[in-house]
Amino acid sequence: MSNLDGKVAIVTGAGRGLGREEALQLAQQGARVVVNDLGGNADAEAAAQSVVEEIKGFGGEAIAVFGDCADWNDSENVFKTAIDTFGDLNILVNNAGFCRDKAIFNMTEDEFDSVVRVHLKGHFVNMRHATSYWRNKCKTDGKPVHGRLISTSSEAFLFGSAGQPNYAAAKAGITAMTMGAAQIMFNYGVTANVICPRARTDMTNQGITAQMFAKPEEGFDMFSPANVAPLVGYLASEQAANVSGEVFVVFGDEVNIVHSPVIDTKFKHGDRWTPEALAEAMGGHFAGQTPIRDGFAIMPQ
């Protein structure tokens, strides 16, 4: 495929896992890729540089730029380097993240703040720089740009996650922020979409998910991060120019589109409700329901 020839992409957290596969996918489609990962960490820097060399090995163009994805100045430097090196920016894939899992009654303030910072603020600062660049370019050129925002959320934003109140809250914020960006940026030529991957990564190789996402000894690897990358490649392309404000659950050989929330059941009273009237009207509705106790148990299969 070469449907991204000449386009420039930034992928955060691109040294390994999902980010690595997404960077390789975009490069294979012809994009010039900025591989962003955390600086000051020898392993992360080596992994990112390895992705760059792999892209160059099949004839692609890529550079590694290191920095904290949630730091305003580091993010600004990534964008400046991308534009100075390749002359433009067209695709932003926000992928970087990490976990600090605890039940809400055991979680420390730092465990909450640090996860929300990397996931939610990390998405914000990069989206802020990208949308500002595209808006100004559209005004200067007098025509829509080719802009693609691809955010990484999780089904935890839908179902919650008993051991990840920080992560689930951040992913809900990412989804809402991306939906807002989709609304305000479409007229500039920019689409914004959310992917919720189920994949084997550093974040799922621990706790309850480690067994769920384990690599099979043989046969199709349902939770390989490589299964997610083609959707990113599609959303980044011109073929998806009219796809915006969507949420996708992607894994294995499946892509599921999540509809916006709708009102499920309505109760009307004809006057101001009282607690007693609400209990009488809604009691039967909830009587046969079991409260959610395990988000994984109700994920669509």
Active site positions, annotated: 154, 167, 171
For the chain, report the end-to-end CA distance as a whole number of angstroms. Answer: 30
Q: Measuring CA to CA, how many Å separate 193 from each of 35, 48, 265?
A: 20, 25, 28
Q: Measuring CA to CA, how many Å separate 143 from each of 61, 71, 80, 136?
A: 27, 31, 22, 11
Q: What DSSP letter does each residue of 56-122 carry, written as one string?
A: HHTT--EEEEE--TT-HHHHHHHHHHHHHHHS---EEEE---------TTT--HHHHHHHHIIIIIH
Measured distance CA(296)–CA(204) in Å, rounded: 13
- Give the strand pairing for 147-152 and 190-197: parallel
Q: Which amino acid is at 18?
A: L
Crossing angle, helix 109-116 and helix 165-185, to 10 degrees? Answer: 30
The residue assigned the tokens 């992913």 is 171
